[in-house]
Structure 1
Amino acid sequence: MYRRCGFRYEKKLRATGVSRIAGIDEAGRGALAGPVVAAAVVLPEKFRHRRLNDSKQLAPELREKIYCELVANPEVRWTVGVVDSIEIDRINILRASHRAMRIAITALIEPPDHVLIDGLPVIPFPLPQTAIIDGDCISLSIAAASVIAKVTRDRMMRDFCAQFPQYSFSQHKGYGTELHLLKLHEFGPCPIHRRSFEPVAQPLLALEELVKISPSPARRARREAGVSIPAA
């Protein structure tokens, strides 16, 4: 359900004397390849944007447009933190996501007084925090962070597509789509794949699960790839 983002949480904090509030969110946690990217954003108190929302609810063209508006605004302070697939495999994706968030927040030139985080609390964390479930649909600060994190990561995946064109990263951004699983089966993993993720090691098994959820695309995939997959 669509909900317009606002400053409800930010206003409550400012009423207690908190002035600099950062929103933080990540992109790429569930992908099979590429980095996890977090963004930290401090918006000016009078910031308004009618179309800013959770990056996943925005069309790619609108998401890019809002990203450009945010980073071009001199009153918006933002940073990103990136943790690559090697580190993800070493410490696990949850810890890697939290590390990316800590990198982003500590990179702000002026540290915020309080941080609004999408989802669950990040522990340990260097600053006071409020974790908000579905925060990217509720808080403008978190929504802005979600857009910057998502666009930053998407651009990185397009660059990786130029390095590894056989995987079509520009289309699926490293997520476990039908196309990506077929490419994994055909070519095996490349250096940016997360080898600790089970679908990377067993793409056909993951594709079988996709058949159960969405049989029609999977049947098309079997026909195009010549792969025998049990019907759902």
Structure 2
Amino acid sequence: MKLPNKSLERNLFMSGYRLIYAVDEVGMGCLAGPVVVCAVAITNQFYKKTHKKLRWLRDSKLLLAKSREFYAEELLKEKDLVYALSYAYPKTIDKLNIYQASRWAMRRAVRKVYSSLYMVSGIQNTKYKIQDTVFKSIVLVDGNKKIPGLKGEQIAIVRGDRRVFAIACASVIAKVFRDKMMVQYAKKYPGYGFEKHKGYGTKYHQVKLASLGPCAIHRRSFRLTY
């Protein structure tokens, strides 16, 4: 199995970039629940490590739940990786449409991680906010289009979660957090089986929708009858 590699990020750091952002979303194709976006900010120090425990990390869709949770836990321990989450809830999706809502959440996630990120100065050994200092940075986006309304350089990468390690990291974190949300929704809205299918349009979900009708977290702008 071909794994995402770190060659793009390493080449960018060698070209003078000091910080790489990577963004991915989970849940665009679901009938229920939010789209969850994770943005990660990664320094060159992260790529100087071997990361033996992350060796088989890949696109979250290709991992078992237990593996995703393990990798997410390891990523959240990393001091050279900072993350932020953003959510596009069903009402926002229905208002904007799924594509615009997802792009809105992506833009928000990048801005959130940007505003919360602190770097450690190698000269003064003091912490300072990243926005107070000029760093050459770039955003790697999963998909074929850049994020509208976001300043700075971007690269849109088709199937980026399968090709680029940083984007795969973002996909794993987003998926783990979204799955946990859907398990909690299953308790609030029993009968739909959200803990099983996580809001995707499985046959089981379709049958339950037909018998129970949509609940508060179903996307009214999606086709909910089959």
Tell me the TM-score normalised to structure 1 length.
Answer: 0.83
Q: Any unmatched runs of 5+ in structure 1?
A: 205-232
- Map of 2:191 onto structure 1: 166
Q: Which has the higher contact order (CA 8 A, sep 6+)?
A: 2
1:124 Cα offset (Å): 2.6
Among 210, 217, 226, the alignment partner of 1:192 is 217
Equivalent residues, number = 200
* Paired position in structure 1 for 2:32: 33
| Residue 138 (structure 1) aligned with residue 173 (structure 2) | no
Superimposed CA distance per residue, residues 72-119 of structure 1 (whole angstroms, 9 cap, x where no aligned partner): 222221111111000000000001111111111101123671111111
Q: TM-score, normalised by structure 2?
A: 0.85
Given the alignment of the two structures, is residue 117 of structure 1 paired with residue 116 of structure 2, yes or no?
A: no
Tell me, in whole angstroms, the C-alpha distance in 2 between the residues paired with 1:145 and 1:127. 19
Q: Decide which of 89, 93, 99 is 2:98's aligned counterpart.
A: 93
Query: Which residue matches 1:72?
Result: 77
What is the CA distance between 1:129 and its match in structure 2?
A: 0.6
- Cα separation, 2, equivalents of 1:39 and 1:65: 17
Aligned counterpart, 1:213: none
Alignment match, 1:10: 9
**Which of 62, 70, 80 is the equivalent residue of 1:57?**
62
**Deviation sequence 1:116-153 (CA, Å, 0-9, x none):** 11112222323311011111111111000000111111
RMSD: 1.3
Q: Which residue of 1 aligns with 2:126?
A: none
Deviating more after overlay: 17-26 vs 121-130: 121-130
Q: Which has the higher strand share?
A: 2
Question: Percent sequence identity over matched residues?
Answer: 40
The letter for the 2-side match of 1:83 is A
**For residues 79 and 36 of structure 1, what CA distance do their matches in structure 2 show?**
14
Amino acid paired to 2:212: F
Match of 1:40, as an amino acid?
A
In structure 1, give the amino acid aligned to 2:197. H
Distance, in Å, in 2 between the alignment partners of 1:34 and 1:126 is 29
Aligned-partner Cα distance in 2 for 1:168–1:40 = 29
1:129 maps to which of 149, 154, 169: 154
